[in-house]
Structure 1
Amino acid sequence: MNLNIDVARLADLLREAARAEIMPRFRNLSEGDIREKTSATDLVTEADEAAERFIARECRSLMPDALFVGEESVAADPSLLDRLDEADLAIVVDPVDGTANFAAGVPLFAVMMAVVSRGETVAGLIYDPLGDDCMLAEKGAGARRRLSSGEEFKLATAKHLPLSEAVACVSYTYFPDELKKVVLPKLDRVKISANFRCAGHEYRLLASGGAQFSVYSKLMPWDHLPGALITTEAGGHVAKIDGSPYTLRDREGTLIAAGSKESWQAALDGLFTDA
């Protein structure tokens, strides 16, 4: 299959969606514009839904043969995830990653997209509407930061540091209770541990050399496919804690994304062992 993916155009598309549908609603949502999905911390807003409709419409024009899988589309039709697993070509989108931050007026949210071909992520993009730039990667071609001007800079992950000097993002919200009992008491081994409530910005931090590793459970494809590719293409290492590769078919489990294989191993040894 000759994909001919125009990642620059996809980056522009995410920017256009943010300018048209997301930023005008930031800190401008009425009570009825915010709704719970599964819990008080699992939210959807008018911005999520409007941005996803915008992106889906434009993607149909750019890549008419691709299956479109958005977070909000899956909320309405969970069978889309099964179709994603078998699709020859698919576009996976999180229209507002960090919805809880967005709804609370916290300026830490992102727009994310992955292009998947026969189960493999071949392009990933994370756009920051407030910084107005996009981190993107194509498989085998490295990762870069693209400014709104079109100028681009190569991305590189951080060098390995011992846990006592490491910066980490640990998204423990969805950890099983038993895993919380193992990991949380060990976080004092890490120099700085944070939880942005926005995987997009945590992956951006990792891919630009600002952290040694991130840890996640609940592995929905729109949350991790873009960042996993960008991190890997920037020189990092991403795998589940059993050492197996992360794939779009993974929905559960625990994932470590790290700036290097050494940092990945240090996170595993330091946080997930019983010692």
Structure 2
Amino acid sequence: MSHSVDIAALANLLQEAAVKEILPRFRNLGSGDVRMKSEAIDLVTEGDEAAERLIKANIDAIAPGAVFIGEESVAADPALLDKLAGADLAIVVDPIDGTFNFAAGLPLFGVMASVVAGGETVAGIIYDPLGNDWVIAERGSGAWMCRPDGTQERLSVTAGVTVENMVGVASAGFYAQAERRIVMGNMAKVRMATSYRCAAHEYRIFAGGHLHFLMYQKLMPWDHLAGTLIAEEAGAYAARFDGSRYLPAHTNGGLLLATDRDSWEELRREVFTV
């Protein structure tokens, strides 16, 4: 790859942040360690902030000169997000994806990082601190489950099925109420639609062949760049609701991923049109 980022070193850095700053706080947060951001379901913890500080402090050794874009850094300085589209090289990090679960003591959270070069996502990593394994993709090289013993397994999405047999993830919380009613009514057409409140694990299980679709409306890059690349490298079809490619600069327009293009078109037509 031409992006000159040591992906193995980046993967190990995510693990280090989890071991030192995230896992010791899991089910061990004090009353002042959790704060609300935009609303009651949008939280930040001491774990998020400490993990991002550790990653940021060590990123220059792995990706010299890269723009660092972390979820908590952008929360503190929203203008930082504008640097992503024009950056020659950027590292985008979600220190704890699934903060609501983490704060509630639910073992469903992850650490994500993506490498963006010239406006394109070229690598993505999703680390599971509790399983101590990584799902990693570099563009053009497939999606891989990487275990701590060094073994690797190539991932592939499952085969397509009819809409009434599809099981997937759909997050309808950011629709306006009238549109939400339509979409949630349409979701009765699929076999099951759920949300694990953790894009990291939703992308992992989709790429691993356990779901037929993922749908998101709010597109913050730290939530979706790594997972979308991993899903595409596992054979999925991904696009925004208008059919356009999802790129690092996009923060709206919705995102739908399916096992193949025909399934994507059918889901878009039957379920996610408002």
Q: Give the TM-score normalised by structure 1.
A: 0.97
Cα shift at 1:177: 2.5
Following the alignment from structure 1 to structure 2, what is the Cα–Cα distance between the partners of residues 251 and 54? 26
Confirm or deny: 8 A CA contact 1:158 1:260 kept in the other structure: no
Q: Deviations over 1:2-21 (max 9, x none)?
A: 42322122111111111111
Following the alignment from structure 1 to structure 2, what is the Cα–Cα distance between the partners of residues 233 and 2? 18
Any stretches of 5+ residues in structure 2 without a counterpart?
Answer: none
Q: Deviations over 1:148-203 (max 9, x none)?
A: 11211101011101111111100112223343122100111111211101111111
Cα shift at 1:56: 0.8
Confirm or deny: 8 A CA contact 2:4 2:63 kept in the other structure: no
Confirm or deny: 8 A CA contact 2:3 2:122 kept in the other structure: no
Cα shift at 1:265: 1.6
Letter in 1 for 2:239: A
Counterpart of 1:78? 78
Within a 5 Å distance, the mapping from 1:158-197 to structure 2 comes to 158-197=158-197
Within a 5 Å distance, the mapping from 1:135-174 to structure 2 comes to 135-174=135-174
Q: Deviations over 1:47-80 (max 9, x none)?
A: 0000001111121221121000000000000111
Counterpart of 2:7? 7
Alignment partner of 2:84: what SS?
helix
Q: Deviations over 1:70-103 (max 9, x none)?
A: 0000000011111112111000000000101100
Following the alignment from structure 1 to structure 2, what is the Cα–Cα distance between the partners of residues 41 and 252? 20
| Residue 217 (structure 2) pairs with residue 217 (structure 1) | yes
Q: Which has the larger displacement, 4-13 or 216-225?
A: 4-13
Q: Which runs of 4+ in 1 moved over 3 A?
A: none
Counterpart of 1:113? 113
Letter in 1 for 2:222: W
Letter in 2 for 1:93: V
Following the alignment from structure 1 to structure 2, what is the Cα–Cα distance between the partners of residues 5 and 55? 14
Compute the RMSD of aligned alpha carbons. Answer: 1.2
Within a 5 Å distance, the mapping from 1:195-214 to structure 2 comes to 195-214=195-214
Cα shift at 1:117: 0.3
Counterpart of 1:51? 51
Cα shift at 1:238: 0.7
Alignment partner of 1:72: what SS?
helix
| Residue 15 (structure 2) pairs with residue 29 (structure 1) | no
Confirm or deny: 8 A CA contact 1:207 1:259 kept in the other structure: no
Cα shift at 1:130: 1.0
Cα shift at 1:258: 1.5
Q: Deviations over 1:209-267 (max 9, x none)?
A: 10010100110000000000000011001101110111111111211012221221221
Alignment partner of 1:264: what SS?
helix
Counterpart of 1:258? 258
For these two proteins, the number of residue pairs brought into alignment is 274
Confirm or deny: 8 A CA contact 2:167 2:211 kept in the other structure: yes
Q: Give the TM-score normalised by structure 2.
A: 0.97
Any stretches of 5+ residues in structure 1 without a counterpart?
Answer: none
Confirm or deny: 8 A CA contact 2:169 2:202 kept in the other structure: yes
Q: Deviations over 1:106-165 (max 9, x none)?
A: 111110000000100000011111111110100111110000112111010111011111
Confirm or deny: 8 A CA contact 2:110 2:129 kept in the other structure: yes
Letter in 1 for 2:82: D
Following the alignment from structure 1 to structure 2, what is the Cα–Cα distance between the partners of residues 259 and 114? 22
Q: Which has the larger displacement, 37-46 or 249-258?
A: 249-258
Cα shift at 1:204: 0.6
Alignment partner of 1:69: what SS?
strand
